[in-house]
Amino acid sequence: MNRRAAAVAIVLTGLVFSPLPAYAAPTDLTTPAPPAAPSADTQTILVTLDHAGSDPEASAQAAVATASQAVGDGQVTDVRRVTATTVAVTLSGGVSASEADQVAAEVDDQRNVKAASTATRFYPAATDWEASLWNINAAIGKYGVAADQAWGVSTGAGVIVGVLDSGIVSHPDLDANRIAGYDIVGADADPTDDGVGTEWHGSHVAGTIAAVKDNSGVVGVAPGAKIEPIRVLGANGGSEADVIAAIHWAIGDVGGTASNGTPLPVNPNPVQVLNLSLGGESPVCDAPLQDAINSAVSKGIPVVVAAGNTSRPLFDFSPANCANVIRVVASTYEGGPATAYSNYGTYDAPATISAPGGSGYSTQCSGSALNQCGGVLSTVTDAAASGAGYDFMFGTSMAAPHVSGVLALLRSIHPEWTVAQLTAAIRGSAIPVKGCSAVLCGTGIVNAARAVSINNFLTRTKAPSISGKFKVGKTLKAKPGRWWPKVKVSYRWLRNGAPISKATKSKYKLTKKDKSRWVTVQITVTGPAGFASQVEVPNSHKVKR
């Protein structure tokens, strides 16, 4: 029996599907009620100083200690330099989340402090169970990424993808494509995924990106790329400070520390793509985290982030709500949005792209060796199979690495492209998500075969717009703008971000259903072969009576 068959048989023993609660497609994108405040606990304040002084830890500690005295009884129990100017100061002694926010606000107003905020706790953005390689191979899944059809052009050779996650295991499908990495949590050079509390999350993500192609086991989207595992998640999630330090370390910045304050060594292998299949509930993207992301993008490194799995707007979750990230929502085997769990975009924070994350429930498909397409099959560990374990998971954590894999394919053949061009290529080659819009689901499901065929980009000389009064009974007209070279144009009118049935012309007459709703139009422009298509969504307007 070959290794794949033996390992899969072990994984499937005792497997039970549990459908997630029913979820209606969003039509009113209202802000959900705020979550309940967490119980009093240890809290960490991220303090970013105006300048890197001789002792930033002392400066940050003094600022927090002064502020905490005015708010409550919290005591500083740990001080850690995250970057040259950002310090994580931990308060203990029954400090509530609201009290920590007050402390951060007090510190933020102090002299020589650029910014201060309460650190967010990050967790894996995944939910477990189901599927086979419908997500990779075009012959099996019509709505996968068709990576097999791209390998004749690129396999991702020469590209390093940084995976900020729970680490990685030794595995026959991973070992040849992994490089050293680092454990920010354990403060050492051994980023082993122990599976405790994360169910081999990082290993599963890594396999989707770059499992080797060797006619056994599974294969990743970019089997020629390398994985650099950077462990930031443990049994109880991971700290925002660790994620910030990890981003800087991954891209080659110096001056950061591990979770215990140990200075991080220089990364000898800076990454070309970053995958963050993680997130924490927070209405804002903290300044130090945004700075780390901006630093990556300034170096030409795209930052791919999972949208989260609560069937809510993604702007409630960091780092999905950060600027300059590629926001990935999940799609199903049937080509629709994974509304059973996937977060979605809004006008304030639109999704960038969709990718296979699984249905979240048992579903059958033809052509697959396992005949199950409820989720994504990838690498984990199994002691009885000498480490060659495989398991099914579904979630936006599983969707994001598909996008990172396609970006690796592109970066390999276009090392000169900017992050904006890489993003335009994946957005402009996507397969539309059934019944969803570019706001909610991005431009569609990322498609590797189409993406590697892109070699040019449209030039916009005049922005698209909408004319007319936003009032019930009035007719609006979409104007596509001006483009070079010549383009074909299609339209899709949106109400609160969701497509309006049969509204696919350049003109749209507002009805009573639109009253007090936000209306706009999605304009898709398609150029000649080899040019990335482009999707534009002009500003929405609230319809009056």
> HEC states along 353-408?
EEEECCCCCCCCCCCCCCCCCCCEEEEECCHHHCCCEEEEEECHHHHHHHHHHHHH
Is residue 7 domain-resident?
A: no
Residues 436 and 479 placed together within one structural domain of the fold: no
- Cβ atoms < 10 Å from Cβ of 282: 24
141 vs 301: CA distance, rounded Å: 30
Spatial CA neighbour of 403 closest among 276, 522, 525, 311 = 276
What's the structural domain count of the chain? 3
In a domain, 35, yes or no: no
* Amino acid identity at 37: A
pLDDT for the residue 270: 98
Please give the pLDDT value at position 384.
67
Give the domain extent around 357: 123-451
CA distances (Å), 486 to each of 459, 507, 533, in order? 10, 21, 12
191-209 pLDDT tens trace: 999 988 888 999 999 999 9
Give yes or no: residues 281 and 422 share one domain.
yes
Angstrom distances, CA of residue 79 to CA of 162, 240, 461: 27, 14, 51
Model pLDDT, residue 97: 84
CA-to-CA dists, residue 392 to 7, 130, 217, 344, 360, angstroms? 12, 4, 13, 23, 11
Domain presence at residue 33: no
- Report which of 246, 160, 167 is spatially closest to residue 210, judged by C-alpha positions: 160
* Coil/strand/helix, residue 38: coil
Residue 176 maps to a domain: yes
- How does DSSP assign 332-355, residue by residue? -TTSSB-TTT--B--SSS---EEE
Whether 363 and 471 map to the same domain: the answer is no
From CA 99, how far away is CA 102, in angstroms rounded? Answer: 5
Instruction: Give the domain-ending residue among 435, 451, 467.
Output: 451
Is 133 in the same domain as 277? yes
Instruction: Report the alpha-carbon distance of residue 540 to residue 526 in Å, rounded.
Output: 23
Residues labelled catalytic = 165, 201, 397
CB 446 within 8 A of CB 145: yes
pLDDT value for 38: 35
Could you tell me the CA-to-CA distances from 74 to 37, 67, 391 in Å, in that order? 18, 10, 44
Q: Are 159 and 412 in contact (CB under 8 A)?
A: yes
In a domain, 16, yes or no: no
Q: Which of 119, 136, 168 is the last residue of a domain?
A: 119
CA distance 348 to 519: 14
Tell me if 34 is assigned to some domain: no
pTM: 0.87
Whether residues 397 and 528 fall in one domain: no
Token pair 């454990």: residue: 183
Regions of the chain with pLDDT less than 50: 1-40, 126-131
- The whole-angstrom separation of Cα 113 and Cα 126 is 36
Which of 56, 84, 119 is the C-terminal boundary of a domain? 119
CATH of the domain at 507: 2.60.40.2700
- CATH code of residue 63: 3.30.70.260
What is the rounded CA–CA span in Å between residue 144 and residue 134? 6
Q: What tokens were used for 151? A: 């390998």
pLDDT at residue 448 in the model: 98
Q: Could you give the CA distance from residue 246 to residue 98 in angstroms, rounded to a whole number? A: 27
Q: What is the CATH number of the domain that holds 360?
A: 3.40.50.200
Identity of the amino acid at 148: D
Same domain, 482 and 406: no
In this structure, the answer to whether residues 406 and 496 fall within a common structural domain is no
The half-sphere exposure of 147 on its side-chain side, counting CA atoms within 13 A, is 32
Judge if 224 and 129 occupy the same domain: yes
pLDDT at 366: 59
Distance separating alpha carbons of residues 523 and 53, to the nearest angstrom = 50
Q: Is residue 18 part of a domain?
A: no
**Whole-Å CA distances, 304 to 27, 124, 209, 274, 423:** 26, 14, 12, 6, 10
Which pLDDT score is estimated for 372? Answer: 64
pLDDT tens track for 296-335: 999 999 999 999 999 999 999 999 999 999 999 999 988 9
- Residue 384: count other Cβ atoms within 10 Å of its Cβ: 10
The one-letter code for the residue type at 127 is: T
First to last CA, the chain: 69
Based on the fold, state whether residues 104 and 151 are members of the same structural domain.
no
Check: CB of residue 332 under 8 Å from CB of residue 338.
Answer: yes
Residue 489 half-sphere exposure, CB side, CA atoms within 13 Å? Answer: 18
| Torsion over CA: 150, 224, 127, 304 (sign) | negative
